[in-house]
Structure 1
Amino acid sequence: MLRTLLLFFHLILFCLLLTYCKPVSEHQSGESAVSTDSSLVEAWVTYGDQSALLERQNQPIHFQQDTSKATPVIMVDASQKFQQMEGFGASLTGSSAFVINQKLSSSQRKELLQELFTSQGINLSYIRMTIGASDFSLSNYTYHDIDTSLKDPELEKFSIEPDQEDVVPVLKDIFDLQPSIKLMGTPWSPPSWMKSSKNFIGGKLLPEAYDAYASYFVKYIQAFASEGITVDAVTIQNEPQFEARYPSLLMSAAEQAQFIKNHLGPAFSKNKINSKIVVYDHNWDTPQYPIEIMNDAEAKKYVAGSAFHCYAGKVEDMSKVHEAHPDKGLYFTECSGGEWAPVFGDNLKWSVGNLIIGATRNWSKNVLLWNLALDENHGPTNRGCMDCRGVVTVNSKTGDITRNVEYYILGHASKFIKPGAYRIASTEKTANALQHVVFLNPDGSRAMIVLNSGTTYQTFHVQEQGRSFPFSLKAGGVATLVWRGLKS
């Protein structure tokens, strides 16, 4: 009998130890609730070798009275607040909506959207959508396609019917899961009859079509509002300096300024449209473009900020716009992964360093990647990128989901940094290979993202309010550290 009891006791102890030590992957982990214990720190890590993927660390970490003298120290100061965050996410392109809506069963679709847009998963909080077709749509279209020999300045034939098949249903499902999610709309091309090229590709917006195009934006926002979908912001044009072989439009800074101050801004005011107007929406390398627009005081009064992509220039160029116009917001709206960069660890390090940490340290209020979902062939495409990678890949035959590196890149931020959070100060005492950024959430919790961009294991301390805790991170690893501050 005694031997049986001892065996039973050891079996129970073994099971408890297994439960404690078992790593928990993000898409299995459920909701991350910050402990009410102000001395406790929660840690989630991803390693470049994929041995941990947004995995919660079960080893307890506690603040202690400051003992941070022997290692690099990251000092956090919540009294220094910078920009207020609006969210993290990706673009629901026509292709993304198609693979989610058409290539998944009802239960698979529900499960994926819950994983992407609730606190049980990575809790994405910002979506970008295309106003009409893009390079990731099933075909070319706008919401007002008529014969180019005709004109309809009152837009009586305006219709979002092309998006009713996939985009609208998926957006409705997302808004049901997260009613406060931010949505930004971006056009790749105006209707062809408004353009000098008379087709979807390239050309300029005709001056005589400026009023009609302003009305087009108004009708777009109103049409989606009638579906229960709130458009929080619009940009004037995707990549306005690039004449692509897919839907596109060339538009100079001077033309955007004229369109905003004399047409779009007044149209929004007249129709009581509260959606933000965001300018530029192109690469880091031309900060002078949005600066020129906002140097026009009449245009600036309608502008909420400027948007950037990652494909040229440096992330620090965003700060040049902040320095010129510190009263206006900055948004990071597009960067795609792809098969040109297949190594998980390299992508993790570059994107966390330049986008999640870099863009927010350079004043961005959000971070958005490109396609939310694509199929196993990197599509469907519309004469655009043939090897772009979605945040997730949907197998069009089986419905199986592959969570790509972009999923974990976003998850390290979106799951822990809440809309309304402020970036706060974080500085280092000792030079080292650590990159970091810290946010103060509306509930008072702190969320720090740390990247070890070096080639060796790093041990460091995080110091705040006269206390500190130690943490160690593999080379190329990323950690999100979450804790509550002391009550003042």
Structure 2
Amino acid sequence: MLLKQQSKLFSLLTLLLLLVCGCGDDDIPVPTVPMEEEEPTPTGEPGTVTVWTTNGEGSVLLSKSTNLLPFKAGLTGGIPIGIDTSTALQTIDGFGAALTGSSAFVLREHLTDAKRATLLRELFTPEAGIGISFMRITIGASDFSTADYTYNDNPAGGADPDQSEFSLGRDTDHLVPVLQEIMAISPDLKIMATPWSAPAWMKTNGDIRNGGQLRGDLLSSYAQYFVVYLRAMSAAGISIYAISVQNEPLLASGYPTMEMEAAQQSTFIRDHLGPALAAADLDTKIIIYDHNWDDIKYPLDVLSDDATKEFIAGTAFHCYAGDVSAMSQVNTQHPDRGIYFTECSGGGFSTDFGTNLSWNTDNLLVGATRNWAKTVLFWNLALNENSGPQNGGCKDCRGVVTINAGNGNISRNVEYYLLGHTAKFVQPGAVRIPTPTRRGEGISQVAFLNPDRSRVLVAFNHNSQTSTLRVTEGGDSFQYSLPAGNLVTFTW
């Protein structure tokens, strides 16, 4: 109650300051082609709303309207969406994708230094492009790497419990250099790191592929593996914001994978990983599960141990099975721990631009955030024209961008524009703010309040005809006719 009263008071004081100083928000154009220079930033007028649109045909792509919408008193009609800035829901860490080994490879090998620098500015700054603010990377190989590897393969004697032979190795060829370039552009970028498998000698099957489990006698050694990894990345100038314990721990497949039951994950965190990070004075967040929406028993079992929970920042989910509402079920039982959405991939299995725009908005941009996600991340940031390089997994996955191996041409896919509608406008540290559910009337929508007090509303029209929205804040409203199949971001 006190927090709500303070928030209301702060909102009133901020409004008075805005009225006195006449301050407005910055409206930043986004390129749909690479830019050699960033465009100047025009300033919007106080009390007006800027509109950015992408249509279902793909002929209008994150396009800024030349007309500003005014707030007016007394407007009626339309589908009402009330904005409530007095209540803060979850804090947003960011929107983005995964820089896999394959992504780093195509960025380094298929682009000139100058062209890569331009693309990275476009991807990671809101001024020059879409402003990705959160990224996931792999700890060792995944199904999108150029080879199988971990950071301590084939040590002398067949084992290295102290991790004295640990080395970033292959990642110094592509991943680390690209990360260093990105961090120079976006030093506040948050990075989450995830292993697909422990080193083969640490597993019951002696193989980084085909599942297998972490050996029970090497839990402390594996915790040290994480500690040494975090220190090695820090020494390379790369700060890791969070780690998840295991990617898709219920999956055993013919690419790098490792099975980890909930009981082992709980024991590993409680007795080994959590204490090891604390002893090393590392404040990296620990995130659990990192698998599909269809199994909430796993994270609930891990969180049910109070001693384990003390080390846990939250639960991560993927989109490949189940329903997005599962995240709210975990949040309801553990509202003091975060929810993270960390992986979903488009691909050749779904090529229609409008269908992808609709599904991803409904389930990820809006669905995940309305179900308490602090992040929304797609899978590969970049792949080549053959959906690769691949390492045993998905044969037709799509990156946020596609880079042609022969000529270096860059194609921006639907995921690029979806990210642009959120990452460009929703600042890290923003909070989701309440709006009424309007999905029954064919509208997916979600609203955010930025640290600079600017507002963002993202909406999609699933209806077969144009729908008029009436957005209200503080007694005044603006109206907008949203065509069928269109995604829109309003900022004011």
Taking structure 1 as the reference length, the TM-score comes to 0.92
Going from structure 1 to structure 2, the CA distance change for 1:298 and 1:232 (only over 3 Å counts) comes to same
Mapped pair 1:482 → 2:491: yes
SS in 1 for 2:480: strand
**Larger deviation, residues 466-475 vs 274-283:** 466-475
- Are residues 1:448 and 2:437 paired? no
Q: Which residue of 2 aligns with 1:365?
A: 374
Q: Which residue of 2 aligns with 1:348?
A: 357
With 143-152 and 319-328 compared, the bigger mean Cα shift is at: 143-152
Query: Which of 1 and 2 has greater Rg?
Result: 1
Match 1:127 to one of 135, 143, 155: 135
**CA contact 1:194–1:205 (8 Å) conserved in 2:** yes
Alignment of 1:21-60 (within 5 A): 26-27=32-33, 35=43, 37-60=45-68
Does the 8 Å contact 1:339/1:388 carry over to 2?
yes
CA distance in 2, matches of 1:214, 1:176: 30
Give the letter for the 2:248 counterpart: E
Distance in 2 (CA, whole Å) between partners of 1:126 and 1:25 is 20
**Per the alignment, in what secondary structure is the counterpart of residue 272 of structure 1?**
coil
1:230-379 to structure 2, matched below 5 A, reads: 230-379=239-388
* C-alpha displacement of 1:33: 5.5
Tell whether 2:68 aligns with 1:78.
no
Separation in 2 of the partners of 1:72 and 1:302?
44
Choose which of 424, 428, 437 in structure 2 pairs with 1:419: 428
1:197 matched to 2:197:
no
User: What is the CA-CA distance between 1:60 and the residue it aligns to?
Assistant: 2.4
Matched to 1:199, the amino acid is D
Match 2:70 to one of 62, 71, 82 = 62
- Which residue is equivalent to 1:17? none
* SS of structure 2 residue aligned to 1:280: strand
In the alignment, is the contact (CA less than 8 A) between 2:30 and 2:130 conserved in 1?
no
- Alpha-carbon separation, structure 1, partners of 2:83 and 2:39: 26
Query: Partner of 2:136: helix, strand, or coil?
Result: strand
Q: SS in structure 2 opposite 1:365? A: strand
Whether the 8 Å contact between 1:34 and 1:445 is mirrored in structure 2 is: no
Unaligned runs of 5+ in 2: 1-28
Q: Deviations over 1:434-471 (max 9, x none)?
A: 11000000000001100101111111110001100011
Match of 1:469 among 478, 481, 486: 478
1:98 is aligned with what amino acid? F
The reply on whether 1:92 has 2:99 as its aligned counterpart is yes
Alpha-carbon distance in structure 1 between the residues aligned to 2:222 and 2:413:
38
Q: Which residue of 1 aligns with 2:18?
A: none
Instruction: Find the partner of 1:460 among 443, 454, 469.
Output: 469
1:115 matched to which residue of 2? Answer: 122
Paired with 1:225 and 1:206, the residues of 2 have a C-alpha distance of 28
Secondary structure of 2:411's match? Answer: strand
CA RMSD in angstroms, aligned pairs only: 1.6
Q: Are 1:450 and 1:479, in contact at CA under 8 Å, matched by a contact in 2?
A: yes
The structure-2 alpha-carbon separation of the partners of 1:77 and 1:34, relative to structure 1 and needing over 3 Å to count, comes to farther
Match of 2:171 in 1: 163
Aligned length: 460
Q: Hey, what's the Cα distance between the residues in 1 that align with 2:30 and 2:171? A: 38
Whether the aligned pair in 2 keeps the contact of 1:25 and 1:55 (CA below 8 Å) is: no
Q: Aligned in 2, Cα 1:323/1:32: closer, same or farther, shift over 3 Å?
A: farther
8 A Cα contact 1:125 1:181, kept in partner: yes
The letter for the 1-side match of 2:154 is: I
- The one-letter amino acid paired with 1:480 is T
Contact 1:25 1:56 in 2 (8 A): no
Deviations 1:191-241 (A, max 9, x none): 111000101111010011100000000011000000110000000000000
Match of 2:147 in 1: 139
**CA contact 2:110–2:403 (8 Å) conserved in 1:** yes
Contact 1:26 1:56 (8 Å CA) reproduced: no
Task: Specify whether residues 176 and 24 from structure 1 end up closer, same or farther in structure 2 by C-alpha distance, changes over 3 A only.
Answer: closer
| Structure 1 residue 429, shift from structure 2 partner | 7.9
Distance 1:149 1:24, change over 3 A: closer
Partner amino acid for 1:131? I
Q: Segments of 4+ in structure 1 off by > 2 A?
A: 23-38, 428-431
Q: Which amino acid aligns with 1:333?
A: T
Which SS does the other structure have where 1:242 is aligned? coil
CA contact (8 A) 1:284 1:318 kept: yes
Aligned-pair identity in percent equals 47
Distance in 2 (alpha carbons) for counterparts of 1:407 and 1:203: 36
List alignment gaps of at least 5 residues for structure 1.
Answer: 1-22, 484-488
Cα distance in structure 2, aligned partners of 1:428 and 1:236: 34
Structure 2 residue aligned with 1:382: 391
Q: Secondary structure at the match of 1:311?
A: coil
Give matches, 1:426-437, under 5 Å.
426-427=435-436, 432-437=441-446
Look up the equivalent residue of 1:101 and give its one-letter code. R
Q: Which moved more, 1:301-310 or 1:144-153?
A: 144-153
How far is the alpha carbon of 1:263 from its aligned partner?
A: 0.3
**Residue identity opposite 1:118 in structure 2:** T
**What is the letter of the counterpart of residue 82 of structure 2?**
M
CA shift in 2, pair 1:431/1:153, >3 Å: closer
- Counterpart in the other structure of 1:104: 111
SS at match of 2:149: coil
Structure 1 residue 275: Cα displacement: 0.4
Structure 1 residues 31, 363: closer, same or farther in 2, change over 3 A? farther
Structure 2 letter corresponding to 1:57: S
Distance change (3 Å), C-alpha of 1:60 and 1:200: same
- 2: distance between equivalents of 1:159 and 1:450? 46
Give, as a single letter, the amino acid of the residue that structure 1 aligns with 2:96: G
Whole-Å separation in 1 of the counterparts to 2:78 and 2:393? 48
Contact 2:105–2:175, Cα closer than 8 Å, also in 1: yes
Match of 2:9 in 1: none
Q: How does 1:178-197 map to 2 (within 5 A)?
A: 178-197=186-205
Specify the code of the residue in structure 2 equivalent to 1:240: P
* Aligned-pair CA distance for 1:51: 2.0
Larger mean CA deviation between 50-59 and 182-191 belongs to: 50-59
> What is the CA–CA distance in structure 1 between the aligned matches of 2:212 and 2:440, rounded to whole Å?
50
Q: Distance in 2 between matches of 1:70 and 1:102?
A: 55
- Report if aligned partners of 1:84, 1:365 keep a CA contact under 8 Å in 2: yes
Equivalent residues of 2:34, 2:119 under 8 A apart: no
Which residue does 1:19 correspond to in 2?
none
Residue identity in the other structure for 1:92: L
Pair 1:173–1:66, CA change in 2 (3 A): farther
Q: Which residue of 1 aligns with 2:19?
A: none
